[in-house]
């Protein structure tokens, strides 16, 4: 007589569910880690862009012995979007050597000071420098957050504040939610 086994080979439903749960937990942990790294990379890119803008303004000041006339941003944060975009666009035109009638001399002998095609992002419709999250950088003179800084040949009391509100596009006052990127060190009150 021949004995046959009735036991089937394969995985049970419970074993499959356990494996799927383990894979889901690992994928979730990996996803959180990747998102954190991407946020840090965008913040680093924003810091580099802010330093490039500040350096370009310093080069402009060195050549022209005056700060670029870029328009007013009034008040304190959070600022008006229209003012931010206008000032940012005017600065982009000046630093990239595109003459603004009545603001800068038509005959350029120096510059350009900034090359947006080398890593700087510009909004295609507004013409302003935008941070990695698509919002315009806030460029304010005189700066509210700098102590008096002597610039060669320039009579000014404060330097320019340049900031990005970060991925949430919200001015953060507390350090716990602070994802803003600036060219100055923020202090909490």
11-40 pLDDT per residue, tens: 889 999 999 999 999 998 888 888 888 888
The fraction of the chain above a pLDDT of 90, given in percent, is 7
Sign, Cα dihedral of 64, 152, 154, 46 = positive
Closest to 74 in 3D by CA, of 61, 83, 63: 83
Q: What is the pLDDT of residue 100?
A: 46
- CB distance 133 to 42 below 8 Å: yes
Closest to 45 in 3D by CA, of 155, 176, 134, 138: 134
Compute the chain's Rg from CA coordinates.
Answer: 26
Higher pLDDT, 146 or 12: 12
- CB distance 131 to 46 below 8 Å: yes
Higher pLDDT, 41 or 106: 41
- CB distance 138 to 164 below 8 Å: yes
Average pLDDT (150-162) is 59
Residue 157 pLDDT exceeds 60: no
Q: What is the pLDDT of residues 67-94, one digit of tens each?
A: 777 776 766 666 777 778 777 887 887 7
Residue 53 pLDDT exceeds 80: yes
Q: What is the pLDDT of residue 18?
A: 95
Q: What is the pLDDT of residue 101?
A: 45
Residue 97 pLDDT exceeds 50: yes
Q: By three-state DSSP, how is residue 151 classified?
A: strand
- CB distance 138 to 73 below 8 Å: yes
Residue 175 pLDDT exceeds 80: no
Structure tokens at 23: 């894979």
Give the range with max mean pLDDT: 20-24, 32-36, 52-56, 175-179: 20-24
Q: What is the pLDDT of residue 130?
A: 86
DSSP category for residue 80: P
Distance from C-alpha of 71 to C-alpha of 59, rounded to nearest angstrom: 19
DSSP category for residue 120: -
CB crowding 82-107: b at 16 or more within 10 Å, else e: ebbbbbbbbbbbbbbeeeeeeebeee
Q: What is the mean pLDDT of the chain?
A: 75
Residue 189 pLDDT exceeds 50: no
Task: Please tell me the pTM assigned to this model.
Answer: 0.70
């Amino acid at each position: 007589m021949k004995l046959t086994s009735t036991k089937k080979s394969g995985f049970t439903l419970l074993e499959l569910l356990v494996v799927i749960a383990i894979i889901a937990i690992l994928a979730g942990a990996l996803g959180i880690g990747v998102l954190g790294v991407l946020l840090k990379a965008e913040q680093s890119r924003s810091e580099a862009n802010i330093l490039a803008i500040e350096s370009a303004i310093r080069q402009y000041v060195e050549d022209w012995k005056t700060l670029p006339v870029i328009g007013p941003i009034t008040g304190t944060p959070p600022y008006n979007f229209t003012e931010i975009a206008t000032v940012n666009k005017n600065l982009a035109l000046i630093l990239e050597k595109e003459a603004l009638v009545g603001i800068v001399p038509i005959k350029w002998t120096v510059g350009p000071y900034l090359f947006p095609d080398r890593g700087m992002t510009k909004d295609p419709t507004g013409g302003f420098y935008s941070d990695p999250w698509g919002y315009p950088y806030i460029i304010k003179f005189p700066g509210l957050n700098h102590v008096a800084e002597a610039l060669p040949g320039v009579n000014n009391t404060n330097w320019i504040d340049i900031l990005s509100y970060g991925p949430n596009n919200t001015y953060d006052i507390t350090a716990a939610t602070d994802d803003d990127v600036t060219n100055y060190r923020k202090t909490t009150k």
